[in-house]
Amino acid sequence: MARPAVSYRALALGADERAVGVIAGAYALLLLAALLCAGIALPVPVWALGLILAALGFCLGVGQPLSMTTVVRAAPDDARSTALALG
């Protein structure tokens, strides 16, 4: 469900704006995921824990392709597969 939204946003932006947006989005999702991980330890009702875990799954699901995009853009053309394997 999150993948089409990320792809649409990437298509809507220009090349330079897209590079900055991808990196900023990845950092924002990383920060939000860290906060949600900390929220798992809080004494909350089960329904709230379900919401925290759903939001955490969304952040990690969107953040993973964004981090792959960042690695691909940073690597030279002839070393992209190696960079993805190591990154």
In tens, the pLDDT along 43-83 reads 999 999 999 999 999 988 887 887 787 788 888 888 888 88
User: In this predicted structure, what is the pLDDT of residue 30?
Assistant: 85
* Number of helical (H) and strand (E) elements in the chain, helices listed first: 4, 0
Tell me what the mean pLDDT of segment 21-50 comes to: 87
- Cβ neighbors of 30 (< 8 A, separation 6 or more) are 63
CA distances from 42 to 35, 39, 48, 49, 53 (A): 11, 5, 10, 9, 12
Q: Which of 60, 61, 58, 69 is nearest to 18 (CA)?
A: 69
Q: pTM for this structure? A: 0.63
Encoded tokens for 84: 């993805």
At 75 the pLDDT is 84
